Amino acid sequence: MCAVRMLRHLGLYAMAASLMLMLSAKPFAQRIDTGALQQLFDESVTTSATGKPQRASDAPADIEIITADDIRRSGADNLPDVLRFVAGLDVRRYGFAAADVGVRGYNETSNPRLLVLLDGQQVYLDDLGRTQWYTLPVILSEIKQIEVIKGPNTALFGFNAASGVINIITYDPLYDRPLNVAQVYTGTQDYARLSAVGTGRIGDKAAIRAFVDGFRASEFAPIGIVPEDRAFQQTPQEGAFGINGRFNLAPGVELSAFGAKVNSRMWEATASPYFGTDFQRTNWSRVALTADTKVGLINFDVYRNELSYEFNGASEREDLHDTVYAVQLSDIMKLSAQHSLRVELDYRNNAATSSDILPGRMGYQVVSGGAMWDWQITPTLSFTNAVRFDHLMLYNHGLVLPETGLTGADFNGKTIDEPSFNSGLVWNATTNDTFRLLAGRGLQLPSIYDFGLQDLQVYPGDGQTYTSQTFLAAGNPLLNATSVTNVELAWDHKLEQIRGQAHAAVFAQRTENVLTNPYEVTPVFTNFADGSQFALAKAMNTGRSAAHGVELELRGQTEGGFRWKASYSYISIYDHTSINRDGFYSPQDFAHGTPANVLVLGAGYTYGRWELDALSRWQSTFLDYRVNATDPSLTPVRVNNEFILNARVGYSIAPGVTVSLVGQQLNTARQYQAAAPPVERRVILSLTAGL
């Protein structure tokens, strides 16, 4: 408790000092040509961590950048298949359009530990704290780069960055090259897709970019799924539209606006993990004002995320409407040649309603404050320290089922107060060698489901082994936030002789107060008022977990057009939790549910109008869990060693016109990647035309 108070006071003092220093601060330059800097450094450039441009290897975080060229050459038509070949990332596919992504282990269905941003806007969903990758309001051709930040980074990147951050950065419609591209896809599984993006500009004063996207396909064969769930399988499809504008209002003053709508239908596994068809309608909107002033680069950002969700499966049918409002104010200041400062205040209001699984209107407000200090100690040594404090206030305007053992006062009086920090010491030992010592504490705050779910179900018995039973899954307003503390040492080395780079990182992390949703805990049998028995499963903090690991990467290219990459990742996890001990299994068996060893190899060659690329991934065996047919418990499933080989052939028919043929999972027709239907081999033909 004393340590919490000390960190809380430290954050308040840092913010107060920041406000005092603003009066003498020098402004940042407003517009940065990261493309030119990337050519200068011969390395990807980022501004995300500190607000200033720097090589990825110099940032006070473990950042790997996926470029637009990397995305194109991968042949992927979706983000999870792009991320699959990044060291330290775990991608599990549960259906044609359903996948979950984890950073350094701890992956599960509806993974709640990963923060996903689109140009700074949160795009993960607050109902379960999950990311629905096929409903994100962006298409691949809009993406300039994807920044993969490994480890807890709440203080640097914001709310809920417990295990890592995926920061998707699109081309700026006003300052980057204009995008005018149309793409047509066709392939196996009856796959058909059309996407297009166009940009219009008025000199250097205004620009608007719009995109449309839609696909349909046939779902993978539901092998291994209980008949009750198979009956609710429907084919996946998606339709999306979005518009992004930037306006130069005055010298140093810019306004940006964004709006998008995505409708989707997919067959997927929930956090339970029950299978069913998921219908989602998401609306995204955002307005941001940036001003380069005498007291720094000030950014005022407001956005709204709206989700309408329906799930239709054998286990249950549910609906949810969730709306998030967020307001962010930040100031980045150049105090001197050696010192930079960022101060920020955030407010978030997340509220959800449901006709059957939430008690009336359920939500929370979060007020956050933080500061970052970047100190260039010497020309070769820098130190960055960021602190943040989150204050969550829970509220509930509805009835509480008495069987939960909770009252309205348990909800409306609940607060969570938690600090987080990120520190990074970066040393450029030579022109080719950079060392980083990193430490951080990140947070995973409970989701709406974790806090307030009230889901009453009746499971039929089989007449022999099981009898029918009533099952109540309930949230818990008394939960604490999960904290993840990480220490890491990383080394980047430039291999000038082969135009390559090497990266090595070793890390250790500890997770406290593991959050477990009510479907994943052992139920307690108790009695209704009439004396009949029911099973109550309540969300809870189930203990702690520890992990350590290593990541090794090599990549390079030749002047003749040959490129290559190789990486190896190892992680070992030790769980100390109260679940998975008594025959009632939970997907949060992180020690056994994470592949310990992963090897990625890739190579490519450009010759004239031809591009040839191949990517492969091998990972060791892990344990996943599948739903039983007649009761709410889970069955462990061994997912054997996985090997994936993808290849792409691209040919430039004319300037701006390319045809490509992609084969995914060429090595086998079907392969289990989780306790889900086996993933099928895919062959995709696409035509891209752009100006």
Whether the pLDDT of residue 59 is over 70: the answer is yes
**pLDDT score recorded for residue 685:** 97
The mean pLDDT of 225-251, rounded to a whole number, is 90
The mean pLDDT of 85-112, rounded to a whole number, is 91
456 vs 195, which has greater pLDDT? 195
642-674 confidence digits (pLDDT tens): 999 999 999 999 999 999 999 999 999 999 998
CB distance 446 to 539 below 8 Å: yes
Nearest to 636 by CA among 671, 675, 590: 675
**pLDDT score recorded for residue 35:** 59
75-84 confidence digits (pLDDT tens): 999 999 999 9
Whether the pLDDT of residue 15 is over 50: the answer is no
Identify the band that residue 405 occupies on the pLDDT scale cut at 50, 70 and 90: confident
**pLDDT score recorded for residue 229:** 80
Whether the pLDDT of residue 262 is over 50: the answer is yes
The rounded percent of the chain whose pLDDT value lies above 90 is 63
Kindly calculate the radius of gyration of the chain based on its CA atoms and give it in whole angstroms.
Answer: 25
The mean pLDDT of 136-157, rounded to a whole number, is 94
Whether the pLDDT of residue 3 is over 80: the answer is no
Identify the band that residue 38 occupies on the pLDDT scale cut at 50, 70 and 90: low
**pLDDT score recorded for residue 32:** 56
Identify the band that residue 531 occupies on the pLDDT scale cut at 50, 70 and 90: low
Identify the band that residue 458 occupies on the pLDDT scale cut at 50, 70 and 90: low
CATH 1.10.760.10 fits 2-690, yes or no: no
Choose from 509-513, 560-564, 674-678 the range with maximum mean pLDDT: 509-513
**pLDDT score recorded for residue 629:** 57
How far, in Å, are 102, 507, 531, 550, 553 from residue 569 at the CA level?
A: 13, 11, 54, 6, 9
Identify the band that residue 268 occupies on the pLDDT scale cut at 50, 70 and 90: confident
Identify the band that residue 632 occupies on the pLDDT scale cut at 50, 70 and 90: low
**pLDDT score recorded for residue 80:** 95
Nearest to 368 by CA among 395, 343, 385, 332: 343
Q: Across the chain, what does the average pLDDT equal?
A: 87
How far, in Å, are 73, 160, 415, 562 from residue 603 at the CA level?
A: 10, 35, 51, 8
* 112 φ, ψ (degrees, to nearest 5): -100, 5
Choose from 19-33, 334-348, 467-481 the range with maximum mean pLDDT: 334-348
Q: Where are the domains of the chain?
A: 2-690
What amino acid occupies position 610?
W
CB distance 160 to 110 below 8 Å: no
571-630 confidence digits (pLDDT tens): 999 999 988 877 777 788 899 999 999 999 999 999 999 999 999 999 999 998 887 655
Chain centroid to CA 494: 29
Identify the band that residue 197 occupies on the pLDDT scale cut at 50, 70 and 90: very high
Q: Please state, as a whole number, how many other Cβ atoms lie within 10 Å of the Cβ of residue 562.
A: 14
DSSP assignment of 114-131: EEEEETTEE-SBTTTTB-
How far, in Å, are 137, 229, 556 from residue 499 at the CA level?
A: 36, 52, 5
**pLDDT score recorded for residue 662:** 97
Identify the band that residue 128 occupies on the pLDDT scale cut at 50, 70 and 90: confident
CB distance 296 to 332 below 8 Å: yes
**pLDDT score recorded for residue 529:** 64
Identify the band that residue 528 occupies on the pLDDT scale cut at 50, 70 and 90: low
Whether the pLDDT of residue 154 is over 60: the answer is yes
Chain centroid to CA 407: 34
Whether the pLDDT of residue 4 is over 60: the answer is no
DSSP assignment of 447-483: -HHHHH-EEEEEEPP-SSS---EEEEEE--TT---EE
Whether the pLDDT of residue 467 is over 70: the answer is no
Whether the pLDDT of residue 198 is over 90: the answer is yes
What amino acid occupies position 670?
R
**pLDDT score recorded for residue 459:** 54
Q: Please state, as a whole number, how many other Cβ atoms lie within 10 Å of the Cβ of residue 525.
A: 9
Whether the pLDDT of residue 151 is over 90: the answer is yes
**pLDDT score recorded for residue 464:** 46
Whether the pLDDT of residue 123 is over 50: the answer is yes
**pLDDT score recorded for residue 272:** 66
Whether the pLDDT of residue 513 is over 80: the answer is yes
What amino acid occupies position 626?
R
**pLDDT score recorded for residue 469:** 58
Largest CA distance in the chain: 80
The mean pLDDT of 554-577, rounded to a whole number, is 93
